Amino acid sequence: MNLPDCQIILRVDREVLDAAQNTLSHDTRYFITSLDPSKVTASGLQKLVRDHWQVENCLHFVKDRWWDEDRHYLARPGLGEVFAALTNFALSVLRLLQQPGDSLVKTAENLRYSPRKILQILGIRSL
């Protein structure tokens, strides 16, 4: 296998436990990086992996599960990039408008039928 610039191959085993410490699932993931092994620690690599999954869990999960973006009829060649940009924008606006302690779903439900309220909050005069 030819992996140009590969410095580290990392194996991460993950176990998900319930409250009684019973294993619910177990998986293994592999990561490849060009980071210099002499300049990164094991805990540094672990943080990078966690940060990677933080993005996956906070962004892609919402887009894939909540908006079903991958199967949307607009997610096709030529329109897919535009649709992804619009859903990214909508998600960013929702996160800006989200009140402390409120879920993203609650924020969306509160603003669902109030486009003028959204524009007003964002400082945009409605038409």
| Domain residue ranges in the chain | 1-40, 43-127
pLDDT computed for residue 97 by the predictor: 85
pLDDT computed for residue 76 by the predictor: 76
For residue 111, pLDDT beyond 70: yes
Taking a C-beta distance cutoff of 8 angstroms, is the pair 68, 54 a contact?
Answer: no
Torsion of CA 106, 107, 108, 113, to 10 degrees: 100
- For the record, the structure tokens of 38 come out as 């002499």
pLDDT computed for residue 126 by the predictor: 56
Average pLDDT over residues 1-29: 88
Task: Read off the pLDDT band of 32 (50, 70, 90).
Answer: very high
pLDDT computed for residue 127 by the predictor: 59
- For the record, the structure tokens of 26 come out as 């177990």
Q: Which of 56, 117, 122, 52 lies closest to 89, judged by CA?
A: 122
For residue 56, pLDDT beyond 90: no
